Every structure is written in structure tokens, then in C-alpha cells.
Structure 1
Amino acid sequence: MQAVPVLVELTEAKSDERIEALRAVLYDRTGKMAGHTVLKVVAEGTSLYARGELQVDPKAVGDTARLLIAPLLETGKRQLLPSRAELLKQLKGYLAPVRIDLRKPDIRFVLPRPVWWPWFRLCVCVVRGRLVKRVVLPNGTTLDLPICHARVTLCEIDRWPRLIRVLPDRDILRLRDDLLDLIRRPIPIPDPPPFAFPSAIPDVPMPPEPLPGPRPLAAPSIETARAPVALRTAEPVAAHAAPLFRLVEELQQAPAEVVRARLSLGATLVFPYLCRLKWLDALFITHRYCFATVTTDDDGRFSALYIHACGDEDRPDIYVSAEQFLGGVWTTIHAPSITCGTTWNYHCGDEITVVVTDPRAQPCVPDDPVDPPAGVETWVMPHAVGAMPIAGTAGAAPGPGWVRPDGLTNYGVNINAPFGSVLGFRQQHSLTIPHDGLYYFRWSWRRGTSGGWTAMDTPITRSYVRDVPGPAVQFPTVQLGPVGDNLFRFKTQLFNPADWGVDTSADPAGTAYYWPIDSGMGEIYAAKWTTPGTTSEALAPGLADTYQVRVEVFAKNGTRVAPGPGTFRFIVPTSIAPDGTLNTRIADPSEIIDDGFVFSLVIDNSRCSAAIAPPVISAGVADDDCGFIEYAPGASVTLAFSPSHPNGRARFSFGLTRGATDVPAAGAGGEVLALASGAYTRAGTTFTGSFAVGALMGTCPNAAFAETLYVAAKATDGTSRLSGYDRSAVRAFALAQQTP
């Protein structure tokens, strides 16, 4: 360690101003604290100086660092600890870049009056938010599921003018050039990312549409500046876009000093574009202050207090990251880049919606409210396959996104879709269960409508809360089954550790145990089934068939219980009310086999195939080895492609592109078993169409083409389409005028 002298000149200060000491904290280039000290303020003539020494290792810090100068606040007689120095940074502290000469280390700089005075009036800003995972249900509606009991860290990013001030000239000019390039181009609107459950079920367009053209530029509003910069926008250019265009004109050829000043004033105009400038993240990381770590409640909500200087009109810029307790460890599930994940100019008290896209994130899923049939108090309801409610074989599917009586489903553009891969089965039961007479359940399956049943034996767990006095909240699990003859326990309404074999003898006094208010996303299933053909592409077509699935109920002694008025009733969903309540019916006797409720599922794990045949010219010369086709006047070109699925359960999309331009007349799409699509007719698995060369060439005498074919399986696991079963093909060729 070495003593590094620090001298700060407080310009424009008067000797009678009451400043006795300042806090100085040194940070290395990574933002790690390297040392701290108290600077004593002394008067020399008519000026004030802050002097002190930092005990640091210059070799460990390096030759570049940042020094924070902040007021030395007191609480009673105890000064704030150095570990709170980052908080002081927000109280109008000053963070200066400094260089340290390793041969003769010392730190000297000037602190202007507007920074160091006044420092002492504090105000409070309430920061509120909600942590969610956004999902798209099979019926097309969007739902925000809360991520409860997560750990959220809230940070404030340094105000934009301060960040601009510390940027070197070369980076200022780079920022100018990058911003001008982005402003002149439309802001891209990304497709939504995939989700684990219930996820968006992608469809194949029919016929394929051309790629969208450039979207018009939207001028950011105040509301846009408040929100995360990654928000979509597609508003047309309007009169309020004028300030943005004026900014472009002013920055085009301006020197670094002018750019710095103009960007400092035009922050709200450029915020929507910062998400594209990943290189700025390194700057933001060293200029952020994390002021609170809080836990989300049962609805995913969180709040914290941000303390700042009163009279500071600059709104805080809030960055949120999150962790969740997964697999026994706290795991980061949300940590976007600062440029993309910051809510700029946050309005105190507003609720920030933080959308987590990490597939590992486990939102809390409330049980759907159930309206049982009149007079039914004790019931078990086979609820859904994934996100698709079960209509039962004696009922009727009220619309898309339901398991139909014949075991198929309709969703999106996919009609008569089968099921496949790993299926998760959801069930609910009345509050009167469990008890000794109704204690276990079992799910099983069989092919066809006769023969023996195979029990589903994948272990099923549920998390409970172990709330140790203090901040140590844990989420251990207990196992519902399988036990005995592949039986699984009904989840109790209240959690009793002894009832689940949990040893609490080593836990401190006051430890509380309880179920979370809602189930985690990974714990909503009562049974899981890896369907036949999932792991074998070769065997899957032969295993495709209608299967029956059964759920039974057992007493604690393992005896199967028959449904009836004196025991319990199986009930089945019939519709969903506007408020989300499931309307139900009593299971029909035809749906009860050997005391168990039975429904059908069509399973088909067959994979698709895709092939494109070489184009054929009617008059000319084809050289397929090089991809060139010479055409004669009046010639036509025959295109052929083969989208197929062993059982016809797939859709396709075919397109032709000339250079970078789509040729809509040559596009097609739809069911792989359609007799015709667009200009093509099907024979076997092959679609064939003939086109005049002029219809494909447009105004080009010679042109290069790309044929693209995508075949999408209809199969679903009840939450998402099984896109892993899709196949695609691409072929390129060129048409050129035949030489004499």
C-alpha cells in the first residue's frame, strides 16, 4: 500500500462557507472500490482546498481511475461508512476521471462550485415495478404471469449530461456518427422471443407475404423516454419529429465540443436509439449506482426508495436486474444491456413493467378459478394438456386451443393438429381433498381403446417456502410421487413439514414454512408423459395413433376409489368465463373406465421433409452444375417442390426471390395435402407450376433466383408448436438470355 496525496481545489468557494470535510473514494476502471479517505477542507488565502491521502496500491489500480468526491454526512455522531460511498455519489457527488503516475502518484483537480454546493437537502423517490414473463396463450391472447419471490436489484444510471461530459472526443464523434446512422434508418421492430410456457405458437403464412418494407421513423415522446428504449414503435413521421431532424442537421459536421453540448441537451431525442449502441454499456457500467435489492411479492411487484438531492430536476434513470432461486442457487434471469434495459427519465411512483425473456425464469401460475356443477363439493378435474383445456370425449371443444373429443386440436392456422413430445397434464381438486379416503392419484396411457395401461412415472415435485428469520428465504421441494404403484399425493392446502417428511430440527426458532401462493411454472403439472416416437424419428410414423389417457383416485391405503355421489366427482371444463373462471360439467358415464376418467389424444411425432427439384426450362439450355439456365425467347420455367409429412399433418410455405425482390406470383403455401396452391398443383407429394420467363424476370434480362421451402409440423405439446419437427430446403439458380 502507498499513500497517494489528494488535493482538490474548490473554486469560487468563500472562506466563511461551512465545509469541514469531504469523502473521497477511488474506483478502478472496473468500478471496484480501491480506497477511501476523508479530505479536510482548509482555507488558503481566499480559496478553499480539500486535502488528504489515499492508502492504495497504485500497481493494482493502474494508471487510470475515477475519484468520487461527496459530502461527509453524519447520522448522530456516526459518519456513514465507506461502504455507503456509492449512495453519496447520488447526492450530487462528483466523479472525476484521474490518471495516476506510478513513479510519483498523486491526484489533483478542480471542483467547480455548481457541483459541491449545496449538497445537503435530500428527497425520496418511490420506485415501483412488476417482474413478469409475457406469454401468448393458444387462443392468441397475451398474459403477463408474475415472477414472485425473485430478487430484484435496482440501479440508477448517471445522468446523461454527466456521461456525455466524461466521454473522450473520439467517442463523442463515434457516438455522433452511430446516432446519425440509426436516426436515418428506421428502428427495427424485433419479433417477440420464444417462451417456455404457455408460448407463442408460430404459424406458417399462406401464401407467403413479402418482407415488410422500411417502417416510418417515429419521434420519441416524453412517454417513450420514460420507458425502456427497446419498446416498439411504428408511428408515422409527424410534426413533432422536427426536433429530431434539427438535431441531425446540427450534428452532421459539428466538432466534438458542439456535439457534446447538443447531445447533452437533446437526451430525450436520442434515448430510443441507445439500445443499438452496445459499446456504450462499458461506460454505463462504471457510472451506475445500485441502491436497493428487494424481493418481489406474490404478484411479482417490488418497490424501493431512491434518495436524491432536493431541487435536482433530472429524473432518475432506473436499471433493473433480477435473480430467481432455481435448482438451489440464485440464478440471474434478467440482466439486459444497460442501454436496452434502462427506464430513462423515470417518473417517481410509476410502475415499471419488467418483462423477463429468459426461458429458465419460472413465473408463478395461479390456479384458474373453478365453478363446479351445482351440488358438487368434492371433485377432481382433469384440467389441461399444457395450456389447452380438456373438453373430454362426451363434451365439445368450445373453440380453438382446446383438446377436442377426437384427441386433436385447432390453434392458429393449424387445424386437426396432433400432440407430441413431452406432455404435461394439469389437474385441480377441491379444498376438501386430500384426506385418508382421497389421498393419491395416478395418470396412465394406452394405445387405442383396449389393452393394458402404462402409468406415467416421471417424478413430480412442489416447492415450499422456508422462511428463516432475517433475509434468508429458501425454496426447497417435496416430491408428490411416484410412490408404491406409481401413485402421487394430492397437494395439501396447508404445508406441514412433518406431513412431508421434512426434518426441521436444525432450523432456528421462528422459521416459518408455507406453500407459495401460486405454483411455479415448472410445478403446474400433475403428470408428464414422453409420448411414443419422441426420441426416434424412424419409429415415430409407425407409432402415430389415437391414444387414451386416464386419471384415477386412490385412498391412503392404496385402494382405488370409484367416483360417485358419496365419494367425489370427476368434473370437466366446458368454457371459460370473461373473468377467467372455468365453467364445468360432471363427467359423463361414457368417460369413466375402470373408475378412472378417460379422454383421447392423437399422438404424432413424425418429422417433416422438404425438397426442391431443379427448375426445368421449356426452351433453352440448363446447366445445373453451375446453376445457370439459358432461356430462349418465349420459354417457360417449371418449378417443383415436395413438402411432406408421413401423415399429412403439416403446412408449408414456398417462395421465390429474384435478387432481393420477392416474386409473389411464384409463391405458395398451405396444407401439404392440398390439391393445389397458388399456381401449383399436387401429384403425390410434389407441387408443380409453370411460369413464363418474363413473369419471373420483370425488367431484368438476366437474374439470379432463390427458391425457399419451409415445412412446419402441426404437432403441439399443448404449449407450443413442435418446431423441431420442421424441415426446410433452399435452391438457387440463374436465368440468362441464350447466346446465339
Structure 2
Amino acid sequence: MAKKREENRLKISIKSGEKTVPIDLVGLLFDRDKNFIERVDIKKDSIHFEASIDKLRTFNLLIAPKTTAVLNEKNYNILLSKHKAYKPKLFKKANKELEILSIPELYIPFWNYKKCRVFGNVFKEFNINNFSEKKGLCNMRVHICEVDKIQWLIPRIPDDIILRIPDLILRPEIPVPVPTLPDPPVPNPPFEIRDFNSVFSGINRPKFKKNISINKKILLSDKINPVLSDRNIMTTLKSKNPRIIRNTIVENFKLFHPYFCHISWLWPYFYKCDELRTVYTDANGDFDTEIYYSIFGDHPDLYFWVEAFIDDQWETVYKPQLPCNTYWNYKCGTEVHINVTDPRVRWECSNDIDGELIWIKTINWGTSVSHIEQKNVTGNAIQGRFLNRQGLTDKHENKGNFRRPFGKGLSFVVQFSNDLPSSKYTYYRWSYKKLKHADLSNAFGATEKLNNLVQKTYSYVFQDSSGHFHFNYNKVKLGPFDKGVERGLYLIPTASPTDAPFNTTEQDANWDQNTRTISFDSSLEGDGLYEFSLELFDRNGNKITNIPNELFQVPNYDTFTPSINAPSVNLESSGRGTCSAFKMVMRIDNSPTKADIYKIKVDGKEVNPTCCGFVPYKDNNSIIEIKFRAYHPHNFADLNFRVQKGTCTDTNQANKTNTKGMVIGNVPTNDGGLYARNSFSEYTKTFSPADLLGTCLGEERAAFAEHLYVNALATNGNHEIDAYDSSKLVAFALDKK
């Protein structure tokens, strides 16, 4: 079957003989109506689509360079017009395979791209001691977008929208909203008009406010001559012919742009913005990157918007009107200045960091610390019950489903930047405090220091007696050490194990960038909610209390990388922009589960007191009770209960008897019923003989197996802890007496 499927795939070869195009290309497949189907890389002058040739009566093929813009575009006409895609003619070879001629050389120049450096600065004016001072904003997320020209979009604008445009120009009774705008950063005017008054003489213009400084910049230029005269423009606007009006707008778009710029409902029709890059600002608020554009095309038209990490989430803090704030024909290498005025943005960048970062990454190697719920919240109900999510992780779950505690075998993995250690940040120490007991009652535990031995492994190369080289491993001690008045401190690892104070002598010694900084015996003080703190100390053992907040990093929740500034909930604040420690809460639960299946009851009485398992019932009006216990003391477990009849599968019976869910409340069955849970975590549901016998009803008897598995949710960060699971298997036989 797989071979036949492979043979039916659409394959197209490119006839060789001419020089191969020295760039990566993609083939784009469309149906007869030019709807996008598939995009694949072209390899060795051959295009292999996944689509079956049997299902494609007619289709369209385009070939284009493999660029980010092409990979994000699925519109057939835009690929042809904007990206200069090549539409080849298909030929059938003697063996009925498809072939196209080699790509014409005239397309190759259009497919060569040039680098364009884009850099700038994000800043804000702050009032510091009654003086206004401009400060660069660090760790801002800058989105760089390309704005499409009108000629790519105009064919897609509906006629009813085109027919509304003349009224905006010709009828003064229709107001054109023009908000007061700040000076946009315009290195090149977004549009140019030699004489605004003469071009539109006799035409009712929108009344721009005099205090809009953009008008003076934009409207005073002598570089363009309108293609059409005043009379022609007025005539076409009054024609009520959408085709004529459409062409006039395309040919004179720079004349109409002052109107469109301030009419927001028109923007989706005339301006299309595609994101090219997302970059982050450094400690000075600077960003620097490269984009690509065709060497035969015009310069890119760029638009910028900015996000800041505020209150534990990314918030948009700069997103001005797109058409009025686009860098049209951006001159590569021109510095972009972005002035953020959002009052929520504070200046918290510190030049004292100089690359000093501590990235608290994972619990063991598998659970991101960003995937541990730090807030005291319940979230959505589970089977009608609410679960306190604080300290729980969504590891092994769908994102956001925080319901798993941590168990035994924990360690905290951290990455230190190469600029550490320093004289200010030389040692670290983890400590813990039990905040709440397993039932979430207050524990008021004392702060305890973690002081178990920590060693860091490194690899090195050695030469044997035969002159052959081999890898081997060794390790050095990070702690605990006593320094000054402090006890139980740990050395921040240097960039290389050959650096002091480790001074390893092996050849080519290197260690992994990640450090298992401490381990924790989670059974020491019982189950509950714990707070862990990471403190820093200088070379003399003095605790640092004015650590810049941005020194502590955590993984990005969605992508892990790049790291982000630790949110405020993870910091022990010591003042504005500083902290004294990194902290996080974790729910610990090492409790095992229990599984039990009770004897069957008929009409309220146990009728199988022996081990033989026969269950007699009187008639079809009998009530048969199935009962089991799926228990975890704090409800951190899932149950899966199945009733198997004989050797075959009876779907109707299975839908009535089988169930799964969390041991927190009643669990549903597929037929809409449920097993009711009591306070002892016992689950009960009643059935008629017909419910269970199903296809065996005519025989009035059948044999069954009951299987219960209770899966503890606790994780050590890498995987579930199976040792806490439990199961039960029993059998019974219904027999009419």
C-alpha cells in the first residue's frame, strides 16, 4: 500500500542542460481555481509533492525562491506579481511522467536577494529628579514588518469599497477623521506631493489640523508629477466606474495617501503588513538585525511595533497607525528611533550587569520552571470540583493544565552566563521553607538551607600509550563551602574548568553549559507547598540584596528559548528594579495511590461471598452494583476502570461500564452516566442485567473481568513516578437462577 501511495504522488522533473539556478527554490501547487494545496523544496531538479496525481485532474504550478516571504504567502496572484514566481509549461514524457523545461535565465536576476541591515533604538523620556532624560529600554520585543505596496493589494479590494472612496474626497459633508499625531520617525517621506493645493484645486479636501507636524513634512516636496491632470482625477472619481477609479488610485496613490492614512477602516484594504523579524533590545535599548530584499525590487517598506514584559506577560506598548508611521523605501542602515510613551513602561535596565545572567531552567532536565503555577488560583473545574493549582506543573499535560505535583528525586538545573562568576556574584545557595501542609493549611515552616554535596562533571581528552586520543570525564566540587560568616555556599562555575579556582589540568577540558545546582529530598518534611529561594553572595561571602531584577532569567513559556526576565512573582523584591533572591513555589506529594474492587451486589446484597466469582441474579429487573475504590490522599491521581466481557468487545456495554478521570469527583461514562464518588473515594454505579449482558442477553449469563488502574500524577521533572501507582484485577460471572 505504501509503495502504491508513493507511485501515485505528483512528481515533476526539470529538464537539465542549462546552468542550474544557484539558489534554493520551492515548488508551489495550486488547484484549478488557484487555491493553495502544497509547497515543497526542489531537490536535484525534481519536485515531489505529497498530493496524489489521481486526485488532481488539473492544477497550477509555480516556482519561486525559498525566502521567508514566499514561505508565508499562499496567494497565487501575489506570488506571480510581487515575488516574480515562474509559471512553467508542463510536458508529458514518454513514460507518462511530467517534465518542465529549465527555468529561463530572465527570472534569475529577480530571485537574487540583497541583505539589508535594520537597526535602531527603543527609548523613553523619563523625569528623573525633575530633569527629563532619555533612557534606552532593555528587553523590549521589537516586531519588524514589511508593508505591501498598493499594487499587490488593489486587485483584491471589493468594488463597493472602491465606490465609497470618491465620497471621501468629493463630498465635504462626510467628515474625514484626522487625529492629532506625534512626529513619526520618517527617514524618507511616506508619500510626496509637489503642490497639494494645485493638484486638488476645485476638489473638496479633508481639513488637516494645523498642529499635525506630519503634514508639513509630507506635503512639501517637488519630486513627483501626477500622472493624471486635475480634471482627469475629478472625472474618474465621479465616474462611478470601479475599474476606472481603481486604476486612478493605483497610478496616483501618493496623492490619495494623505486621506487613506487617517481613515482606519480603509487600512485593511490598502495596507498589508507581514512580519519579517522579531528582535530584542539590549541593555541600551538597541536592536540590530538583517532582512533580505530583491536586488531588482524597491527598498523594503518597514513598520515597527514593540512589546514589553509587564506583570508577567507581554503587553503592546508601541503600535502607531500603520500607514502614517511606515518607513517607506527604507534606506538600509538608517537608524530607527522608537519613542515609547506608555506609562506602564519603567526604566529598569542596568549597565552594571555587563552580561551577567542566571537562567533558572528546569526541574531535573524535563520540566521548565515557567511551567510551574506560582499563583494561588484554581483554574477550570475538574469533574465539577476545583483544584488549587499553586505549585503544580502542566508537565505531561496540555499547556495550562496545571495539576501535577512533584515527588522524589528533584534537582534544579541552572545556566550561568560566561561573565560569571564575578567579585560581586561568586557564590550561590538554595534554601527552602514549607509554606503549607498537604491539606493546604498553613505550615509556618522555618527556612532551611540545602547543603548536600554538588559536583560538576567535565569532559577532557587524553592520549594513551599508543598515541591515540580518547574522551574521559572528571568532576570538581562546587560546594558546600564556608565563607565568612555564611555556611553552605556553592561556587558559581567559571566559563571553563581550567579557570581558577578549579584549575583543572586535563587537555581540552570542557563542561556542559547547564549545572545541576542542588538536589532536594522531597520526603524530608512531608507533602505540602514549599518555597525555594536562590540567593547570591560576593567573594567574601556577603549576601547580595540589590540584585538587578533582569539578572534572573526563566525559560519562555511557549518556546523555552529565548530566556525572559523572571516575572515579579519569582523575585524577592528589595526595591525598585532590584531583588534579594529568586524564588519559586512547588507542590510536593509523595503519597502512593490505592486501588480496590469490591464484590458485586445484586439488589443491595453481596452475592459472591466465595472466590468462585459467580453472581446469580433473579430476573431482568435485578439491580447490579459495581463498586471500586481509587484513592489518593490529596486526589493527585487518575483512574482508569474497565469491564471486559468474555473475549469480545461489546461497545454498548463498554460505554456504560468503562470510565476514566481524576480521583477528585464523580467520573463520567461514555453513555452519559457516571460513577458516583463518596468521601472515601469509592465509586459506585448500578446496572440492569441487560446493561451488562448486552449481546449475551439471550444466553442470560456471561463472564466479566474488572480492571482498575490508579495512576499517581507526581513527577520528578523528567517522568511520572510509577512507584506510586496501583492496580487491581478481579473477575465475576453473571448467571440467571
Which bracket does the TM-score occupy, shorter chain normalised? 0.3 to 0.5
Larger Cα-atom Rg: 2
More RCO (CA 8 Å, sep 6+): 1
TM-score (norm 1): 0.43
